[in-house]
């Protein structure tokens, strides 16, 4: 009894993390690879966005202070300094939103200016994430990026936040392994606190996807695997610890907001297309600025893909996403949190994956081996099948 009471008291003193994600749906142009929801901004649409965001914030039941805030997009850094200040006020007006421990803003290097950075600093932003993608001029052009290599340097020199991340992409059409290594080395030479390395996904209806379906570019999975391995070696040797398939950080610089989502914590998403997971529900806002504004005006949010979070669904996702983290998953804790999941089938699968050298077991912990990390998507699919009701598992 005493142990339970102590645990309850500890929980009350140190509540579970709560994140806030804000989707800022504006970009100056559309990159060849990108499927995130975004439109070209106008004075009218930006005004509507900021006002409706404030209204949407009023629809959420904020039951504890925010631990992290993440403004993604789109390109939040495209808003004027004054609009960034207004967006900051929306966060401050949320109960418990005065001073989150981590506040990240995604910036495209082409939109970084002193005025915008000053507005972000005075709002309380602690971390910026620069979408570099590559330092090679030809690749930047092929991706449809609006910045040059020089612009990245200028943006990085000006940034000056407690934590700075650089986003890089690999397995790009025409990119060689040595070009990729040169990009990694150039990013490392800037000494950021965090580096995200994303393997190109051909998202439906993007310009690159059209080229792939027309046979004008092709997939090269062997080259992709080689690039993954080189990334781990090179960034590890440079002092960046890998903590998730695509993410590397110096000590103390992991992205707490993303870690909370991968650990299946709670967050509220505001803005068109933003996803939320809170109060036993998961769902997304509609990916359309005008329709989102109408729905918010009616007091409605999270209208798309609304799903009740059953213990089995939470366990499945905690395992699929938790395994993408190098620390892995504490299966003992997960079983206690979600005792009703099909642990017999899942346990048998994990034993098989261990026998195949894809995962390692260490007491209650399970984590991906390097070969498992290369096959993380298919390991994730197998876990989903093991969690599915038997009839669905047979149908798959
Ligand atoms: C939501 S985007 C926004 C970043 C910001 N607007 C910019 O472009 O600088 C965040 C990151 O996701 C990555 N990303 C977006 N689409 C991708 C894709 N199809 N494949 C791999 N990475 C992708 C890029 O590295 C990008 O910087
Ligand atoms: S990658 Fe960034 S700048 Fe490019 S279209 Fe996507 S959100 Fe906009």
- At 9, the pLDDT band (50, 70, 90 cuts) reads low
Taking residues 147-174, what's their average pLDDT?
A: 95
Structure tokens at 361: 């077991």
337 against 335, higher pLDDT: 335
Which-ligand-closest: CA of 77? Answer: 1
Predicted pLDDT at 340: 85
Which atom of ligand 2 is the closest one to the Cα of 73? 7
Best probe residue, ligand 2, of 75, 134, 203 (max atoms within 8 Å of C-beta): 75
Measured CA to CA, the distance from residue 69 to residue 56 in angstroms comes to: 16
Q: Would you call 69 helix, strand, or coil by DSSP? A: strand
Say yes or no to pLDDT of 262 above 70. yes
Q: How far is the CA of 75 from the centre of ligand 2 (A)?
A: 6
CB 273 near ligand 2, within 6 Å: no
DSSP label at residue 265? -
CB 73 near ligand 2, within 6 Å: yes
Q: Would you call 165 helix, strand, or coil by DSSP? A: strand
Say yes or no to pLDDT of 8 above 80. no
Q: Which pLDDT tens digit goes with each residue over 169-228?
A: 999 999 999 999 999 999 999 999 999 999 999 999 999 999 999 999 998 888 999 999
Q: How far is the CA of 31 from the centre of ligand 2 (A)?
A: 6
Count of C-beta atoms within a 10 Å radius of residue 329: 24
Q: Which pLDDT tens digit goes with each residue over 315-328?
A: 999 999 999 999 99
Say yes or no to pLDDT of 60 above 70. yes
**Predicted TM-score (pTM) above 0.75:** yes
Q: Which pLDDT tens digit goes with each residue over 229-250?
A: 999 999 999 999 999 999 999 9
Say yes or no to pLDDT of 6 above 80. no
Say yes or no to pLDDT of 147 above 60. yes
Say yes or no to pLDDT of 137 above 60. yes
Average pLDDT, the chain: 93
Closest CA to 171 of 219, 106, 236: 219
Taking residues 11-30, what's their average pLDDT?
A: 88
Best probe residue, ligand 1, of 110, 131, 148 (max atoms within 8 Å of C-beta): 131
Are the C-beta atoms of residues 139 and 147 closer than 8 Å to each other? no
Phi/psi at 335 (nearest 5 deg)? -65, -35
pLDDT over 70, % of the chain = 95
Say yes or no to pLDDT of 2 above 90. no
Best probe residue, ligand 2, of 36, 203, 271 (max atoms within 8 Å of C-beta): 36
Predicted pLDDT at 12: 56
Q: Which pLDDT tens digit goes with each residue over 28-55?
A: 999 999 999 999 999 999 999 999 999 9
Taking residues 62-69, what's their average pLDDT?
A: 95
CB 328 near ligand 2, within 6 Å: no
Instruction: Give nearest CA residue, ligand 2 atom 2.
Output: 74
Dihedral-angle region of residue 279 (phi above 0 means left; psi in -120 to 50 means alpha; beta otherwise) = left
DSSP label at residue 26? B
Q: How far is the CA of 147 from the centre of ligand 1 (A)?
A: 14
Predicted pLDDT at 332: 94
- At 389, the pLDDT band (50, 70, 90 cuts) reads confident
Name all residues whose Cβ lies below 6 A of ligand 1: 33-34, 36, 72-73, 75, 106, 108, 131, 133, 167, 169, 198, 200-201, 203
């Amino acid at each position: 009894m005493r142990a339970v009471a102590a645990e309850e008291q500890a929980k009350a003193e140190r509540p579970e993390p709560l994140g806030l994600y804000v989707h800022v749906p504006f970009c100056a142009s559309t990159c060849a690879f990108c499927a995130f929801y975004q439109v070209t901004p106008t004075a009218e649409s930006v005004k509507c966005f900021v006002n409706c965001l404030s209204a949407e914030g009023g629809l959420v039941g904020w039951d504890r202070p925010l631990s992290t805030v993440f403004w993604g997009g789109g390109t939040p850094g495209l808003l004027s300094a004054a609009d960034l200040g207004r967006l900051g006020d929306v966060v401050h007006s949320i109960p418990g939103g005065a001073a989150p421990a981590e506040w990240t803003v995604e910036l495209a290097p082409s939109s970084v200016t002193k005025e915008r950075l000053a507005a972000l600093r005075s709002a309380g932003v602690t971390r910026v994430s620069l979408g570099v993608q590559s330092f090679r001029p030809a690749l930047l052009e092929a991706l449809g990026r609006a910045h040059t290599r020089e612009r990245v340097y200028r943006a990085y020199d000006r940034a000056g936040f407690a934590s700075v991340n650089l986003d890089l992409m690999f397995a790009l059409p025409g990119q060689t392994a040595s070009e990729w290594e040169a990009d990694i080395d150039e990013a490392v030479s800037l000494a950021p606190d965090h580096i995200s390395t994303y393997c190109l996904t051909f998202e439906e209806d993007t310009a690159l996807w059209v080229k792939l379906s027309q046979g004008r570019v092709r997939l090269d999975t062997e080259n992709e695997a080689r690039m993954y391995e080189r990334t781990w070696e090179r960034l590890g040797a440079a002092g960046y610890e890998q903590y998730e398939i695509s993410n590397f950080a110096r000590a103390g610089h992991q992205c707490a907001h993303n870690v909370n989502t991968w650990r299946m914590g709670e967050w509220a998403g505001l803005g068109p297309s933003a996803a939320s997971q809170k109060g036993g529900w998961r769902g997304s806002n509609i990916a359309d600025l005008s329709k989102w504004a109408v729905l918010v005006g009616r007091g409605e949010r999270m209208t798309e893909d609304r799903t009740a979070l059953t213990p089995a669904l939470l366990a499945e996702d905690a395992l699929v996403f938790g395994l993408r983290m190098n620390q892995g998953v504490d299966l003992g804790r997960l079983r206690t949190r979600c005792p009703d999941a099909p642990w017999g089938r899942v346990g048998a699968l994990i034993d098989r994956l261990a026998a195949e050298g894809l995962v390692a077991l260490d007491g209650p912990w399970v984590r991906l081996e390097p070969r498992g990390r290369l096959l993380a998507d298919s390991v994730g699919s197998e876990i989903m099948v093991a969690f599915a009701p038997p009839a669905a598992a047979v149908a798959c």
